[in-house]
Amino acid sequence: MNILFCGDVVGRAGRDVVIEHLPDLRRRLALDFVIVNGENAAHGFGITDKICSDLYDAGADVITTGNHVWDQRDIIGQIDNDPRLLRPVNYPAGTPGRGVGVFEASRGRRVLVVNVMCRLFMDPLDDPFPALEEAVRLHPLGSAVDAIVIDVHGEASSEKMAMGHAFDGRASLIVGTHTHVPTADAQILGGGTAYQTDAGMCGDYDSVIGMLKEPAIARFRRKMPGERLSPASGQADLCAVYVETDDSSGLARYVAPLRIGGRLAPAWPTDAGDRHGDAVQ
């Protein structure tokens, strides 16, 4: 199975670059399933029903979130009606929405997607390790589901790496979000799970993690409340992780970063390019 995970979408620039390229990526990479982290899609803070619909129409199968999931308050009353929009699974019991779901990919194959949030330097949610343990226990890879993708939304690379190794061999892809910077450690772990500490963002990289530079710099220099942060609106890069899974085991057989845009160095899954067409320019 060919799966693409797109990192945090930030503002209109991020939405536009995903909506522009995703239909072509589905075709060129013969994608069976696409996940997009959309927690910063609505002017940098949260997501709306309309944005979800736009991303679905462009080719996203599931949207994950993180600590900004509730920033657009309307989503609180709407998230229960959208099974494809996930919030972190380790929110306390009774929180609206869901953090895990089994979704149908092409040819009737089943993909478990789990959205979990770290606790180091983040909100003190429930322990993410037991939450993940329960999700993968109920849906074992290779029998109950054909692939498992875990979005680990967190600040600390150490905590993300710990989750990667803790669940190695029990998931197809474990990928980090939240820091908005793509890491260079895409790899297949010893147990067969594809891993990357952070997918990066889909947004304008001439910025401070997707936000306009001047107000962000002022906050660090003055340590005082100031102008509200707003997304940068220049040319955006799309940052994602591409993984191919083994049809029998569900484990990864190939993983690579994917970057499209004008600011970061482009990256294309080389093997996939050989099989599915030339790199997107």
Q: How many CA atoms lie within 13 A of 170 on its CB side?
A: 17
CA–CA gap between residue 238 and residue 205 (Å, rounded): 10
Selection from 147, 145, 144, 119 nearest residue 131 by Cα? 119
Say which of 68, 153, 178, 180 is annotated catalytic. 68
Rg (the chain; Cα; Å): 17
The b-or-e profile of 20-37 (16+ CB within 10 A means b, else e) is: ebbeebbebbebbbbbbb
In degrees, rounded to 5, the angle at the alpha carbon of residue 68 between the alpha carbons of residues 3 and 258 is 30
Closest C-alpha among 153, 135, 254 to residue 201: 153
> What is the DSSP code string of 219-268?
HHHH-S--SPP-B--S--BEEEEEEEE-TTT--EEEEEEEEESSSSPPB-
Strand partners, 10: 40
Q: How far apart are CA 4 and CA 267, in angstroms?
A: 14
242 strand-pairing partners: 4, 256
- Cα-Cα-Cα-Cα torsion 64, 70, 75, 79, nearest 10 degrees, comes to 50
Whether 68 is a known active-site residue: answer yes
Residues tagged active-site:
68
